[in-house]
Structure 1
Amino acid sequence: MENVSVHSAELPACNDSVDFYSPRSGNRTDLNCTHTSGYYDLYVILPVIYSIICAVGLTGNTAVIYVILKAPKMKTVTNMFILNLAIADDLFTLVLPISIAEHLLSYWPFGEVLCKVILSIDHYNIFSSIYFLTVMSIDRYLVVLATVRSKRMPYRTYRAAKIISFCVWILVILIVIPFTVFAGVYVNPFDGRKRCGLSLPNPETLWFRTSRIYTLILGFAIPVSTICILYTMMLYRLRNMRLNSNAKALDKAKKKVTIMVFIVLAVCLFCWTPFHLSTIVALTTDLKTTPLLIGLSYFITSLSYANSCLNPFLYAFLDDSFRKAFKKMLECRPA
């Protein structure tokens, strides 16, 4: 069995001849420890960045969950999907301190079971955001379509949104199962320390390429293509609706929700597209490892992590009901 660490961000010790990988991706290239100061900078900077993402993401997403569950007016179909998106992001930021600890210790002290759990949650985060946003895009398209045709949507209920969200959770869990199966603790042959990563069978190169293509297709190509088609059709419908003087325009509330979903989607793609583009680069080129490439790799990973803490700020800026609910939550009223 060959071992590929895909979650942790430990940096190599000097004079070790090791494989460098990009966190989350399993990208491996030969690395010679000839830039000690650069590695030390990453060793110091990465925990700071991850800690900020963890603190902001955990606080913001917990606030979103609390507001939606406690405020009666927040129980809408769109907010049900936002709730599940926040839960997925909260779950990831909740375990991020373990990744920080592993990075600082440069070995995995937490055992086999927790290794599988952490890697599963990490990979779940890769798929969950885009899948819940795909569902939200489908919902927005159906709302626009129904509005253009002046039809009601009796099937679009809060209960139906719960069922769909549950199905998304099950789907993503099934997608992540292969990573859970191959996740485990192994001893790094270069320094003798325990690591948490994917143990891929021989031929490792074939399995590595398969795992990258698997993630690229299911975690990016299919959902993003679906979203692009939906928004293209949506814009076409809206354009025709404006040309038709007899058609009713979308009311202000529906426009705001549609714009909010679109912006949340745009931010998600901004954070995740470099990660998936790096997959294409890893599959088609053989780049020489340099300090610049290493720094870029960790920047791409940090950018994908950052997506887990940005959505609450978008809701606060773009949705009046969220903003008002946040303010009420922060108010200290006497009993």
Structure 2
Amino acid sequence: MENVSLPLPVCNDSDDTAVLLSLGAGNLSTDPRCAPPADLHSYADLYVVLPVIYSVICAVGLTGNTAVIYVILKAPKMKTVTNMFILNLAIADDLFTLVLPINIAEHLLHYWPFGEVLCKIILSVDHYNIFSSIYFLTVMSVDRYLVVLATVRSKRMPYRTYRAAKIVSLCVWLLVILIVMPFTVFAEVFVNPDTTKRKTCVLSFPSPEGSWFKASRIYTLVLGFAIPVSTICILYTAMLYKLRNMRLNSNAKALDKAKKKVTVMVFVVLAVCLFCWTPFHLSTIVALTTDLSATPLLIGISYFITSLSYANSCLNPFLYAFLDDSFRKAFKKMLECRPA
């Protein structure tokens, strides 16, 4: 059984099948064959601050991303290819922040009261959050590379249209839904077999659970980090190489000011995304290669890593406001008090 954050081994059964404890969305879940550790309640102080952190992320993320969505949809000048991808990124972040109150409620109640259907939805959205940001940023990096390539060659891009960006965005949504589908299938409400009968929303893998658990972590690491990040690194390396050669060996004009700013903005948004999500994926490698006991320090680190990955959903609107003049102007215009 697992949620979406750092997995911590608790015990092993006689047939060497790993029984795991994982922390995510503010709850603890254990395999049914393994009783909760006796000193679990000694970690209670680690839970106090989480509802506050999640509430701040929810409030800031929902406000900021909703503002970005509103501005892009309402301001005519904001309907560009890059902004179409930003719009979808904001929708994905908004979707995640919308379900955070349910995670907060589960955390405060110490059990799952919302039923199996909502359990599948919440865990699916949690996992969608892992993949959606990095995939939309990968698409934005591809777009930036094509813009730079066309500029270097002094060519136009007739196929790079707002409509094409809509189609690409839809394809990304469908791809991520397919990637997340296995987690939706395995999500279920588990009733603890002890006297408490406590319900938790977890991923319930078939036997052998340990192998399935490792496979799910490798699946997430490869599809949610290794492949898209490798693609992005290759694209930006090639982009920088072409820009350098353009200055040294070509008479072509450098990227104009607007294109430079958009490229810088995409790069910064990408850097912040990697800063927030890299610890999460590194924790996967640690979980797969080491056998750590669930100490208060490790549980605290797990919560910090989860909160950091969640925080990425509320940071992007501030980056757009700082790095893009058109966003700032559109925000100000939307906030203006117009006479009746």
Fold shared by both chains (TM-score > 0.5): yes
Match of residue 57, structure 2, among 53, 56, 66: 53
What corresponds to 1:256 in structure 2? 261
Q: How far does residue 177 in structure 1 lie from its aligned partner after superposition?
A: 0.4
What corresponds to 2:275 in structure 1? 270
Q: How far does residue 288 in structure 1 lie from its aligned partner after superposition?
A: 1.9
What corresponds to 1:34 in structure 2? 39
CA RMSD of aligned residues (A): 2.0
User: In 2 relative to 1, CA 145–27 (structure 1 residues): closer, same or farther, beyond 3 Å?
Assistant: farther
What corresponds to 2:10 in structure 1? none
Paired positions, count: 323
Give the secondary structure class of the aligned counterpart of 2:292: coil
Q: How far does residue 41 in structure 1 lie from its aligned partner after superposition?
A: 2.1
Q: How far does residue 247 in structure 1 lie from its aligned partner after superposition?
A: 1.7
The residue identity in structure 2 corresponding to 1:23 is G
Give the secondary structure class of the aligned counterpart of 1:196: strand
Match of residue 95, structure 1, among 99, 104, 107: 99
What corresponds to 1:71 in structure 2? 75
| CA–CA distance in structure 2, aligned partners of residues 55 and 139 of structure 1 | 31
| CA–CA distance in structure 2, aligned partners of residues 188 and 62 of structure 1 | 39
Matched, 1:22 2:23: yes
What corresponds to 1:12 in structure 2? none
The aligned runs of 1:310-321 (5 Å cut-off) are 310-321=315-326
8 Å contact kept, 1:140–1:258: yes
Runs of 5+ consecutive residues of structure 2 not aligned to the other structure: 7-18
| CA–CA distance in structure 2, aligned partners of residues 27 and 270 of structure 1 | 27
What corresponds to 1:228 in structure 2? 233
Matched, 1:172 2:185: no
The residue identity in structure 2 corresponding to 1:145 is L
| CA–CA distance in structure 1, aligned partners of residues 5 and 22 of structure 2 | 10
Matched, 1:6 2:14: no
User: In 2 relative to 1, CA 28–271 (structure 1 residues): closer, same or farther, beyond 3 Å?
Assistant: farther
What corresponds to 1:215 in structure 2? 220
What corresponds to 2:208 in structure 1? 203
8 Å contact kept, 1:8–1:102: no
| CA–CA distance in structure 1, aligned partners of residues 324 and 303 of structure 2 | 33
Aligned residues: percent identity? 83
Give the secondary structure class of the aligned counterpart of 1:207: helix
Give the secondary structure class of the aligned counterpart of 1:184: strand
Q: TM-score, normalised by structure 1?
A: 0.92
| CA–CA distance in structure 2, aligned partners of residues 256 and 8 of structure 1 | 35
| CA–CA distance in structure 1, aligned partners of residues 166 and 112 of structure 2 | 37
User: In 2 relative to 1, CA 36–185 (structure 1 residues): closer, same or farther, beyond 3 Å?
Assistant: closer
Matched, 1:183 2:193: no
The residue identity in structure 1 corresponding to 2:124 is S
User: In 2 relative to 1, CA 176–334 (structure 1 residues): closer, same or farther, beyond 3 Å?
Assistant: same
| CA–CA distance in structure 1, aligned partners of residues 333 and 100 of structure 2 | 29
Give the secondary structure class of the aligned counterpart of 1:289: coil
Q: TM-score, normalised by structure 2?
A: 0.91
8 Å contact kept, 2:2–2:21: no
What corresponds to 1:237 in structure 2? 242
* Alignment deviations for residues 151-198 of structure 1 (CA, whole Å, 9 cap, x no partner): 000000000000000000000000000000011111023431111111
What corresponds to 1:297 in structure 2? 302
Give the secondary structure class of the aligned counterpart of 1:201: coil
Q: How far does residue 8 in structure 1 lie from its aligned partner after superposition?
A: 9.4
User: In 2 relative to 1, CA 35–166 (structure 1 residues): closer, same or farther, beyond 3 Å?
Assistant: closer
The residue identity in structure 2 corresponding to 1:20 is L
Q: How far does residue 328 in structure 1 lie from its aligned partner after superposition?
A: 1.4
* Alignment deviations for residues 128-166 of structure 1 (CA, whole Å, 9 cap, x no partner): 000000000000000000000000000000000000000
Matched, 1:85 2:82: no
What corresponds to 1:104 in structure 2? 108
| CA–CA distance in structure 2, aligned partners of residues 27 and 137 of structure 1 | 37
Q: How far does residue 34 in structure 1 lie from its aligned partner after superposition?
A: 3.5
| CA–CA distance in structure 1, aligned partners of residues 117 and 5 of structure 2 | 15
* Alignment deviations for residues 301-321 of structure 1 (CA, whole Å, 9 cap, x no partner): 000000000000000000000
| CA–CA distance in structure 2, aligned partners of residues 49 and 297 of structure 1 | 14
What corresponds to 2:158 in structure 1? 154
| CA–CA distance in structure 2, aligned partners of residues 81 and 27 of structure 1 | 36
8 Å contact kept, 1:22–1:28: no
8 Å contact kept, 2:149–2:239: yes
Matched, 1:247 2:252: yes
Give the secondary structure class of the aligned counterpart of 2:253: coil
The residue identity in structure 2 corresponding to 1:6 is N
8 Å contact kept, 2:5–2:22: no
| CA–CA distance in structure 2, aligned partners of residues 270 and 327 of structure 1 | 29
Q: How far does residue 20 in structure 1 lie from its aligned partner after superposition?
A: 3.0
Q: How far does residue 35 in structure 1 lie from its aligned partner after superposition?
A: 7.0
Q: How far does residue 42 in structure 1 lie from its aligned partner after superposition?
A: 2.1
Runs of 5+ consecutive residues of structure 1 not aligned to the other structure: 10-17
Give the secondary structure class of the aligned counterpart of 2:47: helix
| CA–CA distance in structure 1, aligned partners of residues 286 and 188 of structure 2 | 27
8 Å contact kept, 2:269–2:319: yes
8 Å contact kept, 1:57–1:310: yes
